[in-house]
Each structure stands twice: as structure tokens, then as C-alpha cells.
């Protein structure tokens, strides 16, 4: 199950794109957008407001994927960020 990491507005929810498969975009405000690719099921619709922890879909292998996984992307004002920053996860130490 995929859960919203923060409150926001669903701006796109497409179940079957060629490369991305099931794709959901959430606008969290202040230029922060999160994306969830390769979903097997979408549980939200465009225009829907979501709250932190709400189920938004299921992990899958749709689109151009070699196996079940979640591609989670985070963008802030045209800059790609590490999504683990949004949930307080620690990055592994450098090799």
C-alpha cells in the first residue's frame, strides 16, 4: 500500500501510461510535488484532497517496469529531491 507522505491535492491520477504505468501526482503546496509511478491500483482521483497517511494506491509493475516496485519522486520548484527527506529517513553512509 502506498500512503501520502503529507497533505496535498491530487493533480494527476492515470492508471495506465506507457512508461510510468499507474501514475499519481500530489501537489503539497509551495512548489512541492510528489510522484508515484508503476502503481497496480490508484485509490485517488484528480481534484481529491489527501491527508498524511491516507492510502493513495498499490505498488505494482505497470508501465515499463521489470518487476513490482514503487518509483517515488519528489520535486521542489524544478529541482529533484530525495523523497526520503519527506519522511525523515536517514541516507546510508557514503561508500
> Does residue 53 fall inside a structural domain?
yes
> Does residue 25 fall inside a structural domain?
yes
Q: How many domains does the chain have?
A: 1
The residues with which 28 forms a beta bridge, in sequence order, are none
Name the pLDDT band for 8 (thresholds 50, 70, 90). Answer: very high
User: Where residue 38 sits, what CATH number does that domain have?
Assistant: 2.70.70.10
pTM score, whole prediction: 0.88
pLDDT of residue 91: 64
- Whether residue 15 has pLDDT greater than 70: yes
**Would you give the end-to-end CA distance of the chain in angstroms?**
31
DSSP 3-state of 87: helix
> Does residue 9 fall inside a structural domain?
yes
Pull the grid cell for residue 70. 514503487
- Whether residue 89 has pLDDT greater than 70: no
Note down the domain range covering 52: 2-79
Ranges 4-18, 19-33, 49-63, 73-87: which has the least confidence: 73-87
> Does residue 11 fall inside a structural domain?
yes
CB atoms within 10 A of CB 59: 16
> Does residue 85 fall inside a structural domain?
no
Which residues neighbour 3 within 8 Å (Cβ) at sequence distance 6 or greater? Answer: 52, 53, 54, 55, 56
> Does residue 86 fall inside a structural domain?
no
Amino acid at each position: 500500500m502506498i500512503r501520502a507522505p503529507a497533505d496535498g491535492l491530487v493533480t494527476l491520477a492515470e492508471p495506465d501510461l506507457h512508461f510510468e504505468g499507474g501514475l499519481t501526482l500530489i501537489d503539497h503546496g509551495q512548489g512541492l510535488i510528489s510522484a508515484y509511478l508503476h502503481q497496480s491500483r490508484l485509490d485517488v482521483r484528480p481534484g481529491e484532497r489527501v491527508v498524511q497517511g491516507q492510502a493513495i494506491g498499490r505498488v505494482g509493475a505497470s508501465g515499463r517496469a521489470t518487476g513490482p516496485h514503487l518509483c517515488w519522486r519528489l520535486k521542489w520548484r524544478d529541482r529533484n529531491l530525495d523523497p526520503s527527506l519527506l519522511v525523515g529517513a536517514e541516507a546510508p553512509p557514503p561508500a
